[in-house]
Amino acid sequence: MRAYSKALIVDDSSTSRMILQRCIDMAGIPVGEYLFAENGLEALNILLSGRQVDIVITDINMPKMDGQTFVRLVKGKTETSGIPIVVVSSIAEASVEEELKALGVAFVVKKPVSPQKMLGALGGEA
């Protein structure tokens, strides 16, 4: 199973951030350190600050900068384009999912999340 030294969780809901972390831990996925952001803008600043994040888990519907815009910016910058991204959303809209995957998003997980869903999205082979 793949291990992550730093995972960045992006969601405006503190409850959702906590649930995501808990589900990842319950799935047995090794994560060295969790970083958190409340919106895409905050998350982008974390990524551009030089911190070596090796997986991003992000919501879509957020204030200031939504998840779609955040993904486009991350994938459009040379220094961050290689970071794998998993999108977690309450809405399962096919066209949005297609766009996100075309941008390079690894998985789109529909809320409510579960350890099983997070294992499927993050727990692949190293």
Partner 1 sequence: MNENFDREKACACLAETVAAVFADMAFIDAVTLAESIAAEPAAEPAAATESAPASSRPGPSSEVLERCALDVLKPVSCRLELALSPGLHRKIVEILLGESDVKGGADDSILEMLNVIAGGFLTSYFGLGVEIKLELPRYLFLEDESGGDIVCSADFDAEGERLSAILRSIRYRY
- Footprint of partner 1 on 97-116 (CB under 8 A): 110-112, 114
**One of 5, 45, 81, 90 touching partner 1 (CB under 8 A):** 90
Opening angle at CA 71, ends 16 and 65, nearest 5: 65
**One of 28, 63, 82, 124 touching partner 1 (CB under 8 A):** 63
**One of 15, 49, 52, 78 touching partner 1 (CB under 8 A):** 15
Amino acid at 85: I
**One of 5, 45, 61, 116 touching partner 1 (CB under 8 A):** 61
DSSP character at residue 1: -
| Closest alpha carbon to 7 in 49, 56, 41 | 56
Residue 26 contacts residue 54 (beta carbons within 8 Å): no
Work out how close the CB of 92 gets to partner 1 at its nearest, in angstroms, rounded to a whole number. Answer: 6
Q: If binding means CB under 8 A, how many residues of this protein chain bind partner 1?
A: 20
- Give the tokens for residue 71: 């993904």
